[in-house]
Amino acid sequence: MAQRDYVKKTTKKKNKSKSRNVTKSKSNNKSRTMPTIMVLLAITLVVLFAAILYVVSTNKKDAKPVPPVKNITEGPQSTLPEKPEERWTYLKELEKTDTNQLPINRQPITHQQNLERQQILNDFINDSSQVSSNSLSSNNTTTDDWYLQCGAFKEHANAESAKAKLAMLGFNASIVNDKLYRVFVDEQFASKIEAENAKKRLESNGILDCILSQK
């Protein structure tokens, strides 16, 4: 009979048992490491979440509120005083035609018209200076008579209109032609005070173009 090799069989059995033990230990190690990894991941997530909450809360505390923008309103603008009315009306009469009789003519002003206006301005300045000098020289003397001149016009029709207005207020007037048609009140005033009172009466009735003069 052939002899059986019992030694080899026993060694093979031992090797198989060892390999089984190794696989069991590996599976046990794997089953142990899995929960520890999960625990570590959970801890790191909690820490990260807490850190994010802390950063957000500190940023909210440090942020300063933005003040609302106020609407800038402009202050009240300074109003300029109205331009005073002219005391003499003949300069205005030169710039317009008689609207009741003739249509408005919007033609450019010629050189001749400019010269006429300049001449009228010069006459007005000379008359004003003469009246002022006469009033200054006659402050101490009241022997001369005083007159009221109520306008100087280029057109005779405008002078007649001013004369009619004076007549309606009870003042007779006459027209003197000296380069311009000047309207004088016929009444002679013995003193400057009487002439000024008559002038104030005319001004209260809307006639503002009268000045004191001595012929």
* Distance from C-alpha of 88 to C-alpha of 121, rounded to nearest angstrom: 11
For the stretch 115-156, pLDDT in tens is 777 778 777 776 666 655 555 554 544 457 898 999 899 999
Give the pLDDT band of residue 31 (cuts 50, 70, 90): low
pLDDT of residue 137: 53
The answer to whether the CB of 180 falls within 8 A of the CB of 153 is yes
Give the pLDDT band of residue 43 (cuts 50, 70, 90): very high
Give the pLDDT band of residue 184 (cuts 50, 70, 90): very high
pLDDT of residue 1: 46
- Map out the domains of the chain as residue ranges: 9-61, 90-213
**Residue 12 vs residues 20, 25, 79, 186: alpha-carbon distances, Å:** 12, 20, 121, 164
Instruction: Give the total residue count for the chain.
Output: 215
SS3 173: strand
pLDDT of residue 141: 47
When the candidates are 3.40.1260.10, 1.10.1060.10, 3.30.70.1070, 3.30.360.10, the CATH number that belongs to 90-213 is: 3.30.70.1070
Question: If we measure between CA atoms, which residue out of 213, 211, 96 comes closest to residue 151?
Answer: 211
